[in-house]
């Protein structure tokens, strides 16, 4: 299981996004949090910024859509240049159709679960996805404390992925840091989003390397 580290630009300086993208060279994906002030109580950026960032960044974009009506908007993020697009299970009207549409446009299709959303109802959908995101905070803001109570869900999700012999990646997002990443890895996560633990340091590239070492041990 290859470990991937995806810095979240939510904790970066939004006036210098291209430079901030370059500051984490060596990262696997750049995690881009799209918030619409409806699905979550915060507002960030949309398709035009993703389009510019996709051109400016050598690191591929992992777009996390915390928005209502992802069925309507997610395909536009693939067209804008995102390599992976994550929609929320709680917001999608037709997750299978949406995942197929993302894949048909050449993107990796991913679905996210808020802390209170169980994985079990979605077991049969897993073959339609390239990644499953288990949120380890309530979505909306960077810098929140990691929710330990999500570790059993990470473990159960990994078991379901193995049971079906699937290749899909298991991402965790929220409060991932030097003090929590090992627990996430041990529970079965292989893709780690980190915002403040990367951009909140003086040397973001070094933070990526050290998180990777910790998750690999
Ligand atoms: C929160 C976002 C996260 C956020 C994580 O809703 O989805 O991607 O940037 O930030 P940290 O790593 O600081 O918890
Ligand atoms: Zn995110």
Indicate whether residue 196 lines ligand 1 (CB < 6 A).
yes
Alpha carbon distance 202, 200 (integer Å): 7
Indicate whether residue 35 lines ligand 1 (CB < 6 A).
no
pLDDT higher than threshold 90 for residue 217: no
Backbone angles phi, psi at 24, to 5 degrees: -115, 35
CB 112 within 8 A of CB 88: yes
- For 1-12, write each residue's pLDDT tens digit: 799 999 999 999
Tokens coding 189:
């996560």
pTM over 0.95: yes
Is 130 considered catalytic here?
Answer: no
Beta bridge partners of 25: 27
* Residue of 28, 36, 173, 190 with catalytic role: 173
- For 80-135, write each residue's pLDDT tens digit: 999 999 999 999 999 999 999 999 999 999 999 999 999 999 999 999 999 999 99
pLDDT at 105 (0 to 100): 98
The domain spanning residue 40 has which CATH number?
A: 3.20.20.70
Q: What is the Å distance from ligand 2's center to 165 Cα?
A: 26
pLDDT higher than threshold 90 for residue 207: yes
Nearest alpha carbon to residue 207 among 8, 19, 24: 24
Average pLDDT over residues 37-65: 98
pLDDT at 81 (0 to 100): 98
- For Cα atoms 34, 40, 44, give the angle at the middle one, nearest 5 degrees: 35
Instruction: Report which ligand 1 atom has the smallest distance to the Cα of 142.
Output: 10
Nearest alpha carbon to residue 146 among 118, 110, 116, 183: 183
Tokens coding 126:
């897993």
Query: Nearest C-alpha to atom 4 of ligand 1 is from which residue?
Result: 142
Neighbours of 53 (CB within 10 A): 23
Give the dihedral of Cα atoms 164, 31, 148, 208; nearest 10 deg.
110
Alpha carbon distance 89, 119 (integer Å): 10
Neighbours of 156 (CB within 10 A): 17
pLDDT at 46 (0 to 100): 98
Find the domain containing 90 and state its range. 4-216
Question: Could you tell me the sign of the dihedral formed by the alpha carbons of 192, 145, 143, 157, in that order?
Answer: positive
Q: What share of the chain is helix, strand, coil (3-state, %, to 5)?
A: 40, 20, 35
- For 16-48, write each residue's pLDDT tens digit: 999 999 999 899 999 999 999 999 999 999 999
Nearest alpha carbon to residue 113 among 163, 53, 160: 160
CB 208 within 8 A of CB 5: yes
Instruction: Report the mean per-residue pLDDT for the chain.
Output: 98
- For 156-199, write each residue's pLDDT tens digit: 999 999 999 999 999 999 999 999 999 999 999 999 999 999 99
Total structural domains within the chain: 1
CB 30 within 8 A of CB 210: no
């Amino acid at each position: 299981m290859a470990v991937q580290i995806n810095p979240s630009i939510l904790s970066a300086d939004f006036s210098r996004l291209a430079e901030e993208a370059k500051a984490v060279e060596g990262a696997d994906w750049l995690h881009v949090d799209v918030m619409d002030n409806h699905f979550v109580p915060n507002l960030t950026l949309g398709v035009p910024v993703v389009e510019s960032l996709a051109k400016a960044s050598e690191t591929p974009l992992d777009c996390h859509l915390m928005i209502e009506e992802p069925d309507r908007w997610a395909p536009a993020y693939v067209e804008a240049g995102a390599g992976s697009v994550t929609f929320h299970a709680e917001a999608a009207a037709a997750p299978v159709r949406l995942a197929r549409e993302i894949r048909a446009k050449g993107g990796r299709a991913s679905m996210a679960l808020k802390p209170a959303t169980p994985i079990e109802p979605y077991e049969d959908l897993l073959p339609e996805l390239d990644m499953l995101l288990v949120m380890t905070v309530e979505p909306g803001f960077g810098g929140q404390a990691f929710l330990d109570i999500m570790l059993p869900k990470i473990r159960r999700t990994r078991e379901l992925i193995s049971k079906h012999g699937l290749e899909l990646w298991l991402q965790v997002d929220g409060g991932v840091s030097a003090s929590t990443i090992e627990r996430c890895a041990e529970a079965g996560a292989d893709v780690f989003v980190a915002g403040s633990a990367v951009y909140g340091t003086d040397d973001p590239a070094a933070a990526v390397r050290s998180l990777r070492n910790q998750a690999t041990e």
